[in-house]
Amino acid sequence: MHMPDFIPKFVEKAGLDAFFSQEASWELEPPVGEDVPRAFSTPSKALVKPSPIPLKDLLKRELYPGMVHNVVNPKLCINMVRALGESPRFREVRLSNLIEPEDKSDPERFCALTADLGNGVLFISFRGTDSTVRGWKDNYQMGFLCPVHSQKVAAAYFSQLLQSWHGAVILGGHSKGGNLAIYASSVCPKEVQDRILAIYSLDGPGFNTEFLETEGFKRIESKIHKVVPEFSFIGSLLDSPVHYSIVKSNASGIKQHYPISWQFKNNLQFNTAERIAPFASYIGSTFNKWINKYDAAGKKVFIDTLFDSIAAAGYTDFDDIFSDFKSALPRLYRQFHTLPPSLRETMIQFFQDLANIAFFQLPLVKAFAHKEVSSKD
């Protein structure tokens, strides 16, 4: 089989060809050293509605535009779908229950997909934040509100799936999707939690302190596997006692957030690092100190005002802002000055507080450079 273009050059081609050419074995390791219940070892009742579609059936050119209409790198994603659909290891995985917003103005910014692995286990995948203003507002609301809208929908999606599935499940997601996987696992009944084999959070943000103290979270905490890149910013937001592994990336800065850049060793295991990059630690520490400075009411005022102002300026997607920042900046500045004077002063104070915290944190950059911010695994 040819080597797909999306595979990073630092991966040994021979090893990866072997990986994609493997027959599906799906030998799962018991979660956290526990025995997998016998009931999970045989296929359970399959999802009926809608009918699952084998991944290999998606290898049709006319379907590709619909798959990648709202992604960062469409060509790369299509190459990945082709590699998976052609491989004996993945092509029989059956996909179903896709939920996604119809357009960028849709307030329902939730997206999820279910994969039937064919061995009595479902993998439930939650998508991370897209580039829409509505999606990122939902992200930042996590700093003062739990549950946010997307967390509620994730829990409902998981609950609805379990009405027709009685076997084992694995949940996971990238960025905010990792947070949603953890939330949905935490709020489901204990008997459902016992059926969860593992939860994967790929550079996903944490939670507020109150949520981390709930019994539901504590019951599934040991099943969470979190992976972050060396320059982890999103995954460092908010509180998280979860153990994590640090993976090296061939990208720089915030672009390391995308898992496609994460490195593998010849044995196809993550090429791990010992600590978070010093500057990433500085940014994460600064942001968390700043956001934790305010109570829930103060956080709500800032988030609502900031994102409502962006929307009022006519923007629905951050791509539109960054693609023409010279025009966007004065437009946003004019919108900011339409705020009532008292609210405008409040927002100015928020930004001044951030600048002050960032300034006084600067001497800590050197300390971060020498401090061991190590993997917690």
224 has which bridge partners? 199
Axis crossing angle, helix 296-312 with helix 133-141, rounded to the nearest 10? 180
Q: How far is residue 106's CA from residue 279's CA, in Å, rounded to a whole number?
A: 36
Query: Mind giving me the DSSP string for 277-315?
Result: -HHHHHHHHHHHHHHTTS-HHHHHHHHHHHHHHHHHTT-
Q: pLDDT per position in the chain (377 positions), as tens?
A: 333 343 343 344 444 555 566 665 544 443 333 333 333 332 233 333 457 899 999 999 898 888 877 676 788 888 888 999 999 989 999 999 988 766 555 555 688 999 999 889 999 999 987 667 777 787 778 777 788 888 999 999 999 998 889 899 999 999 899 999 999 999 999 999 999 999 999 999 888 888 999 999 999 999 999 999 998 877 777 767 778 889 999 888 878 888 888 888 877 788 888 888 888 888 888 888 888 888 888 988 998 999 899 999 998 877 788 778 788 889 998 999 999 999 999 999 999 999 998 888 776 555 555 554 444 54
168 has which bridge partners? 121
Q: Where are the domains of the chain?
A: 41-276, 284-370
Q: How far is residue 248's CA from residue 228's CA, in Å, rounded to a whole number?
A: 9
Instruction: Tell me the CATH architecture of domain 41-276.
Output: 3-Layer(aba) Sandwich (3.40)
